[in-house]
Amino acid sequence: MSRGILTLNVGSSSVKYALYQEDSLKDFESAQCLTRGIIELHPSRITHDVQSVSISHKIDQVLLEHSDIMITAMVHRVVHGGQLYFDPIIIDDTNFNELKNFIPLAPMHMTPELAAIDELSTRFPRIPQIACFDTAFHGNRPELDKRFALPKDLFQSGILRYGFHGLSYDYINRISQHLLEEEKRQNVIVAHLGNGASMTAIKNGQCLATSMGFSALDGLMMGSRCGAIDPGVLLYLLQEKHYEIADLNQLLHKQSGLLGVSGISHDIRELEMSDAPDAKLAMDLFAYRCAKELGALMMVMGDLDSIIFTGGIGENSATMRSKIINQLTYLHLNINTQHNHHNELKISEDQSPIDVYVIPTNEELMMAHQAYELLTTTTSRQAYA
């Protein structure tokens, strides 16, 4: 009987799953995905929807359709590893309880993710549940990019800039070693643009700086999240507008970003089809904030070989890529309009001083690969033999 690794990716707007042939994960490039699927969620109802979706039912369907595959691990994307977890782990009672301590750091993500782990651990006690962490890729970046200008004791207590979308960045970093020429992947800025959005500067394969901070609210404008905001605004809303904490949480996570500015939708596809002035404003503001952040990351990097777009918007919206690139006039980028329109790998002309690429991310493959590497260690394999 063949062996397979099943991944479960509970994101900010979807639940994705994929089943990989275990043996094929020895070679990152030739990994064989047997099946994959996605459940779309509306941001304003994400917690309710994730709780109401029967993950076990979906797993049962996968197992039934692939009864010739023995599942050797179920792998979960866990948004926050805090300062404890930088490598994948096999979930046990001890580390599961430790992960619960990170719920306040990312409640919208950690709550459904841990619920999925708990549910599947109970239903499949002999199958290891493995956690891969979205913060891990950013863990070794310079302290200057981690610190807030707050007292030292707060930093030591864990109030720092963690960075997120790490599984996506790890995948792009690895696959670019195969797709790009060596001189084009030394100094790279990756723009992971989707319902959640961030940018990261990667130098010689290592994270140097990233736009998200203590939470997944920080940095770029997103689908329904505000991104970076003056903390004075929050104090004003609490003190003068008498917002309750729950109201503020709802505003920042679910009523802002593209949705809040446009008043129409968080979905860039709907905004691109709209003639409403506020739809254009929302897209222009998104592009402006992206271009501004890219400029800041260039300062940290000191040099730039390539820009890589990924994520749902980054991979599929030629319009948004054009809007962002048009803001970067000082870089003198030379874009091939047809290549951009068709979402091709390289969308810049050969004479462009900086190459621009579109590379679809694959967090599920990254998770499966990390799990495979963990399970092939002697202690991990023996524990579940």
Active site residues: 134
User: DSSP labels for 338-371?
Assistant: HHHHTT-SB-B-TT-SSEEEE----HHHHHHHHH
Residue with tokens 């820009």: 307
Cα distance between residue 50 and residue 352, in whole Å: 44
Residue 220 φ/ψ region, left for φ over 0, alpha for ψ in the -120 to 50 degree band, beta for the rest: beta
CB 67 within 8 A of CB 88: no
Give me the amino acid identity at 56: S
| 263, containing H or E segment | none
Cα distance between residue 1 and residue 23, in whole Å: 12
Measured over the CA atoms of residue 190, residue 15, residue 132 and residue 160, the dihedral's sign is positive
Within 10 Å of residue 309's Cβ, how many Cβ atoms?
29
Torsion of CA 186, 192, 197, 200, to 10 degrees: -10
Residue 288 CA: distances (Å) to CA of 141, 186, 320, 326, 327: 26, 26, 10, 10, 7
Within 10 Å of residue 48's Cβ, how many Cβ atoms?
11
Closest C-alpha to 369, from 81, 30, 38: 30
CB 184 within 8 A of CB 355: yes
What's the CA angle centered on 57, arms 372 and 87, to 5 degrees?
Answer: 25
Q: Give per-residue burial for 59-78: e unless 16+ CB within 10 Å, then b.
A: beebbeebeebebbbbbbbb
CB 329 within 8 A of CB 353: no
Residue 312 CA: distances (Å) to CA of 147, 185, 202, 294, 365: 30, 22, 20, 18, 16
CB 6 within 8 A of CB 74: yes
